Structure formats: C-alpha cells, structure tokens
Amino acid sequence: MIRNFLATLLACSLFSIGAAAQTPAGEAETAIRGALAQWTADFNAREAARICDLFAPDLVYDYRGFPERKCADLCALLRRSLADRTKQFTYAFDIKEVIVSGDMAVVRLVWTLRITLPGAATPVESKEPGLDLFRRQPDGSWRISRYMGYEAP
C-alpha cells in the first residue's frame, strides 16, 4: 500500500514538474504565433498605425543584399509601402519551428510576399526564409529584436 502511494506521489510530482516546465514555453509560443498573425492581418489591411507593433525598439535586421537596418528604418519602409496605393501587397507566413528559452525565442519561418502591380494579370511572388529572434518586453509582449532574411532563389 505504501509502495503504491509512493509510486502515485512520484508520478504526480513528475507530471506536475513537466507540466509546469512546458506551460511558460507553450504560452510564449502561442503569444508569438498570435503576434505574427496580428502583424500579417495589420499589414494586409494596410493598418499603418500598428505596423511596427511587432518590432522591439532595439530591432536590428539583416536582409541579404541590403545594409543592416534599425527599427526606425523598417517602420519608415513599411509605412511608405502601405501608403503606395498603386500596388497591392499581401504577406503570409509559414512557421517551421519555434524555440523558446526564457525571455527569448527563435522562430524559423518563410514569409511569402505577393505584390500585385497595376495592370498585371498575376502577382509577383517572393519566398523569404528567415530567422526572427523575439524577446519578451517589459510589458510581457513578445517582439522581434533581431531578424535575418533573404529571398529564396
């Protein structure tokens, strides 16, 4: 009887330790996926007022073939793009992997950008594999602090 009690107690302890260890990472992954989905919806709806909400103030990004840029540079570029009503832009993403460790997370994903030009029968499409490094912000939100991307051949 005591042996069964101890076995049950051990099993419950291991289960609760495992559940507690996975809960924060699971919550972080859910928050990060939600932030990416919200940004995509905002971009596709041309919500310029919220277009920089995904990025941390200390953002540094590298996109192959372009100089390293900061948050203000990216925000200005995004706002200019969204203001250009002669083109229709849409983004979609495919998350390959999310790795969470404490207050940092790495997301390996592929962004698909479609640009429809005036008079064009079909949109121009580019696939952009990349790595996004998220950091938990003081307010608890997850924002991209670093990212590297490139257009797939």
Domains of the chain: 2-149 (3.10.450.50)
Q: Residue 24 has what pLDDT?
A: 79
Structure-block tokens of residue 9: 């107690």
Q: Residue 120 has what pLDDT?
A: 86
Task: Identify whether the C-beta of residue 134 lies closer than 8 Å to the C-beta of residue 104.
Answer: yes
In DSSP notation, 55-99 reads EEEEEEEEETTS--EEHHHHHHHHHHHHH-TTSEEEEEEEEEEEE
Q: Residue 93 has what pLDDT?
A: 97
Q: Residue 4 has what pLDDT?
A: 45
Q: Residue 18 has what pLDDT?
A: 45
Q: Residue 12 has what pLDDT?
A: 42
Q: Residue 19 has what pLDDT?
A: 43
Q: Regarding beta strands 55-63 and 142-149, do their DSSP bridges make them parallel or antiparallel, or are they unpaired?
A: parallel
H/E run at residue 114: strand 104-116
First to last CA, the chain: 66
Q: Tens-of-pLDDT digits for all 153 residues of the chain?
A: 444 443 443 344 434 444 444 447 899 999 999 999 999 999 999 999 999 999 999 999 998 888 999 999 999 999 999 999 999 999 999 999 999 999 999 999 999 999 999 888 899 999 999 999 999 999 999 999 999 998 877
**Three-state SS at 118:** coil
